[in-house]
Amino acid sequence: MDPPLWVNALIATISLGFLGLFIVAPLGIILHEAFRAGLHVWWASVREPDALAAIRLTLLVAAIAVPLNLVFGVAASWAIAKFRFKGRTFLLTLIDLPFAVSPVISGLIFVLLFGLQGWLGPWLADHDIQIIFAVPGIVLTTIFVTFPFVARELIPLMTEQGSEEEQAALSLGANGWQVFRRVTLPNIKWGLLYGVILCNARAMGEFGAVSVVSGHIRGETNTLPLHIEVLYNEYNFAAAFAGASLLAALALVTLAIKSLVEWRSGQA
């Protein structure tokens, strides 16, 4: 039996109210603030050198972190889903670690490792290598934080699919690489794409961990989220919201691709 009309109406109002208050309104405000002073102000804020540098750095970090985590994620899922070995559960737990710890702690780990007072600090200083407060630190932290996305997406999928198709391919004479490219990869491609999209969104949007290791050097070590914070703290709201509108746009594009992938994989 359907619940009475007033119950349905109440539930619908609550969910729509929440959605409006916490999702639609903030998004609307970002766009409103970003374009309030006019399109030319938005355009100028985005084209300002420091902003461009921040965008470039964000893209660079994602361009390094995402492919590395893709390779790692596929390799780890393959190992975990298709084989039984000692330490398998431990590896599974380890993959979840970046999700479990606060992003600030994730950043601090790298400061403690590579910072001037850190374990490897003196050695790095001797060899004139700078990791913390520089691009390598940002890349490393981002890799750490976005580490689980691809693997988390693939492990359940590959476990469910089992390894019989791979064994069949082997018995038909395929070598390891052929098995991977012709059998495993096509079977996981939608899940993989989904994981990569989420990984990319997080890599571009990460704030906490990156903030700890970046050092906030304008035009050098500020990613887009950090750049927005700096502008906001300087009461430069128009520019801050212009940057925010870019990240919001990224989120919307991600969601669109994600729905498309879900739709396609539902069809396949």
Partner 1 sequence: MSIILKNINKSFGTFKALNTINLEFKSGELTALLGPSGSGKTTLLRIVAGLEEADRGTEAEILFDQESVTGSPVHRRNVGFVFQHYALFRHMTVFENIAFGLRVKPRSERPDNKTITEKVTKLLSLVQMESLAERYPPQLSGGQRQRIALARALAIEPKVLLLDEPFGALDAQVRSELRRWLRQLHDTIHVTSIFVTHDQEEALEVADRIVVMNRGVIEQVGTPQDVFHRPANKFVMQFLGDVNVFHGRIESGHAVFTEAPAESVEAAARMLVRPHDLLIQRPHDGSGQGISAKVYRVMTAGSVVKVELIDHQNRLIQVHLSHERYRETPVTPHEEVIVVPHKPHVYAGEDKWDGNYVI
Shortest Å, Cβ 173 to partner 1: 5
Site string for partner 1, 177-216 (x = CB under 8 A): -x---xx--xx-----------------------------
- Residue 49 is a binding residue for partner 1 (CB under 8 A): no
> From CA 112, how far away is CA 104, in angstroms rounded?
12
- Residue 82 is a binding residue for partner 1 (CB under 8 A): no
Shortest Å, Cβ 172 to partner 1: 4
* Site of tokens 């992938």: 261
Shortest Å, Cβ 154 to partner 1: 16
Query: Which residues in the 229-268 window bind partner 1 by CB under 8 A?
Result: 268
Site string for partner 1, 146-165 (x = CB under 8 A): ------------------xx
- Residue 167 is a binding residue for partner 1 (CB under 8 A): yes
> From CA 168, how far away is CA 250, in angstroms rounded?
42
Size of the residue set binding partner 1 (CB under 8 A)? 17
- Residue 88 is a binding residue for partner 1 (CB under 8 A): no
Shortest Å, Cβ 181 to partner 1: 10
- Residue 8 is a binding residue for partner 1 (CB under 8 A): no
| Cα angle value 153/154/156 (rounded, 5°) | 90
Per CB under 8 A, the list member of 4, 87, 173, 266 interacting with partner 1 is 173
- Residue 174 is a binding residue for partner 1 (CB under 8 A): yes
> From CA 216, how far away is CA 112, in angstroms rounded?
18
Phi and psi at 101, nearest 5°, equal -95, 155
Shortest Å, Cβ 189 to partner 1: 9
Per CB under 8 A, the list member of 6, 83, 89, 171 interacting with partner 1 is 171
- Residue 175 is a binding residue for partner 1 (CB under 8 A): yes
In the bound state with partner 1, the residue whose beta carbon lies nearer, of 233 and 267, is 267
**Which residues make up the interface to partner 1 (CB under 8 A)?**
164-165, 167-175, 178, 182-183, 186-187, 268
